[in-house]
Chains A and B, each alone.
Chain A
């Protein structure tokens, strides 16, 4: 439901402390030689793009976050039916998320 961008920001922010903890507990990953710099014409001519190895984990976390937000929003609307929260969240979703998506498409 509401605020896809908000969820993405929140999730990304939550990853920072985890990264900090990883570096403190396990040590920062060793600096490796740059693959792009090591490239030569004799090598394969494919672009050297960064490999997002944590992408599946990120997608799982993102899905969990969106699910959690949905549960929280539903719970809020059920527990306080007199409040205009459902309509408000609908309007919020329509005006912000749709606009953001529209600008990106």
Chain B
């Protein structure tokens, strides 16, 4: 079985049938059994004529706050308030893995009701509580039926378009760019500068980052990962033979990631989610939102640059304080992903304690693919078949779509806005056939939202105000950027142009001091938009699984150039020569370049510089002056 054969996007494309996986079913049975036991236990004090306090507390076990109904009088007002509070505690559980939250609210409100009860309870309390419980249960049942019907309604249209759409996707995805001629445009460079400005500042400085919370999507770790992804793609596709500040920028992001400010959230989540008050190693149990993402990030850098420093033991150490540090490297980070997969009952494992996000598990499996590419390991062959089996079995809805989020402890699915668009590019790293099917569905379901604007340019109109997950404000920057990334990855120029036009027209495009940005978006969604802008067909997959064009890996490199004075749009080698395309970033003028990895002592002819020949030093180095003015092409070729 090859990677391409894994998943459901291979032979006859058909959505999956409705199903509930055995692990999910068992976990849900357990949840309902516990709840039934709570109800019985809660009813016993009433049946046995126990004290009023015990009766009220018992009824409180049926539903959060229901005990206040038994207390009666004004205390009954606390019932809806407690229900609302319980919903909020569920959000806290979801938000930060605070497992204790709902437990405290539910049991705490029952205890409080018991404490508030007088000598007697209101006789109607149990009936009112039973009525409320049944009503809420019925409302959830109706909602689930509606969602299931909506999912079932997608099957027929999907089945009708899938084969034709998949054929188009396969044709478009096959049109990959020539790696020997790729060059960033001035627009690409202006976007890249947004990333370089932020990554080249000192490691402990955070100018240009959104700092809100470190638990959910606006967290610094996601901004760092996405910035790293975009720089890694630029390095792989356009400038594999430029190290210098390009490599420094990527290493700075990795160094920032190791600061406690970024990963310290795990201390809290370990305490209130795992009840673990001693070992807060972020790459141990769960936390695929760190290990999977960071593993991809670091592996992509090593693949793009050839730099293998993060394979060294201790190279990725998370320091908690002067006394405690969690010592890791690339292989131990990925090792954590594999260890968790080895023991995951659902086949996928959790981000925050309890919450399993299939999207983060796509990052996780992609990180195993990166390790295969960097070290020659055999992860994908070993892990992907079982992973896909469990994904299809436990995390797929009636329409064949991947469920966004499932509770590990209860087995319940939770609505979470992740669709085929988000999964497609990541799946392309380890299962291109399945990934193409994801995109084949997504592009057709996006199509009705694409239409010409007043100037005849195609654009996408999305409903509502949208949500920017990078700062929790409204806006469609993230949605347009995600569509752009997926469309570019599969070579779908029609959808990609519509997404790019929508970004440019709706998201506050500003070009200032040579830097391109969307002021209506967050730092994270800007980063994702840049990632999409830089990409062409297959770039995402190649940057994580193959690295740069093979001849460039041994050829000469541009090692020294000043930023932002020298902007590098192309740095490519055929193994012997070096071809550069440079632009001035701080005005026209003379600049000095440092070259390395030349053949020691060899003579080279030069074009586009102030000299037409150079000779490499015994350690393969040389320097070169160029007059930058607009697009400046420089070649260094063995004489």
A interface, CB within 8 angstroms of B? 2-3, 5-6, 9-10, 12-14, 16, 28, 31, 33-34, 36-50, 76, 79-80, 82-85, 88-89, 92, 96, 100, 103-104
Chain A residues, CB < 8 A from B207: 39, 41, 43-48
Give which listed residue, B85, B88, B112, B523, contacts A37 with CB less than 8 A: B523
Chain A residues, CB < 8 A from B512: 40
Instruction: Please state if A37 and B209 are interface contacts (CB–CB under 8 Å).
Output: no
Bound state CA distance, A16 and B200, in angstroms?
40
Give which listed residue, A37, A79, A89, contacts B517 with CB less than 8 A: A37
B206 nearest in chain A by CB position? A47
Instruction: Please state if B211 and A50 are interface contacts (CB–CB under 8 Å).
Output: yes
**A-B CB contacts (within 8 Å), total count:** 132
Instruction: Please state if A9 and B101 are interface contacts (CB–CB under 8 Å).
Output: yes
Bound state CA distance, A41 and B206, in angstroms?
11
Q: Which of B103-111, B281-289, B537-545 is the contact stretch? A: B103-111
Instruction: Please state if B473 and A80 are interface contacts (CB–CB under 8 Å).
Output: no
Bound state CA distance, A42 and B111, in angstroms?
57
Instruction: Please state if A83 and B210 are interface contacts (CB–CB under 8 Å).
Output: no
Instruction: Please state if B112 and A38 are interface contacts (CB–CB under 8 Å).
Output: no
Give which listed residue, A10, A36, A50, A82, contacts B81 with CB less than 8 A: A10
Chain B residues, CB < 8 A from A45: 201, 205, 207
Q: Which of B115-123, B389-397, B412-420 is the contact stretch? A: B115-123
Chain B residues, CB < 8 A from A96: 104, 108
Residue B310 at the chain A interface, CB threshold 8 Å: no
Chain A residues, CB < 8 A from B100: 100
Bound state CA distance, A36 and B209, in angstroms?
6
> How would residues 359 to 381 of chain B score, 1 for a CB under 8 Å from any chain A CB and 0 otherwise?
00000000000000000000000
Bound state CA distance, A60 and B108, in angstroms?
24
B117 nearest in chain A by CB position? A83
Instruction: Please state if A13 and B81 are interface contacts (CB–CB under 8 Å).
Output: yes
B395–chain A nearest beta-carbon distance, Å: 30
- Which of A2, A28, A37 has most chain B Cβ within 10 Å? A37
Given the known inter-chain contacts A9-B88, A9-B101, please indicate yes or no for A103 contacting B271, CB distance below 8 A: yes
Instruction: Please state if B272 and A31 are interface contacts (CB–CB under 8 Å).
Output: no
Instruction: Please state if A36 and B522 are interface contacts (CB–CB under 8 Å).
Output: yes
Given the known inter-chain contacts A13-B81, A31-B474, please indicate yes or no for A36 contacting B210, CB distance below 8 A: yes
A69–chain B nearest beta-carbon distance, Å: 10
Give which listed residue, B87, B118, B211, contacts A80 with CB less than 8 A: B118
Chain A residues, CB < 8 A from B517: 37-38
Chain B residues, CB < 8 A from A46: 207
Bound state CA distance, A82 and B200, in angstroms?
69
B422–chain A nearest beta-carbon distance, Å: 22
Bound state CA distance, A14 and B77, in angstroms?
13
A49 nearest in chain B by CB position? B211
Residue B208 at the chain A interface, CB threshold 8 Å: yes
B84 nearest in chain A by CB position? A13
User: What are 10 sample pairs from A and B whose C-beta atoms fall under 8 A apart?
Assistant: A5-B101, A10-B85, A13-B81, A37-B518, A48-B208, A80-B119, A82-B119, A84-B115, A88-B115, A92-B115
Bound state CA distance, A50 and B522, in angstroms?
12
Chain B residues 295 to 332 lying within 8 A of chain A, measured CB to CB, are none
Given the known inter-chain contacts A41-B201, A80-B118, please indicate yes or no for A34 contacting B522, CB distance below 8 A: yes
Given the known inter-chain contacts A41-B207, A48-B207, please indicate yes or no for A6 contacting B108, CB distance below 8 A: yes
Chain A residues, CB < 8 A from B92: 9
A58–chain B nearest beta-carbon distance, Å: 15
Instruction: Please state if B475 and A31 are interface contacts (CB–CB under 8 Å).
Output: yes
A28 nearest in chain B by CB position? B474
Instruction: Please state if A3 and B104 are interface contacts (CB–CB under 8 Å).
Output: yes
Given the known inter-chain contacts A34-B523, A83-B53, A84-B53, please indicate yes or no for A40 contacting B515, CB distance below 8 A: yes
Instruction: Please state if B519 and A38 are interface contacts (CB–CB under 8 Å).
Output: yes
Give which listed residue, B88, B197, B268, contacts A41 with CB less than 8 A: B197
Bound state CA distance, A22 and B201, in angstroms?
40
Residue B167 at the chain A interface, CB threshold 8 Å: no
B89–chain A nearest beta-carbon distance, Å: 6
A61–chain B nearest beta-carbon distance, Å: 15
Bound state CA distance, A10 and B109, in angstroms?
11
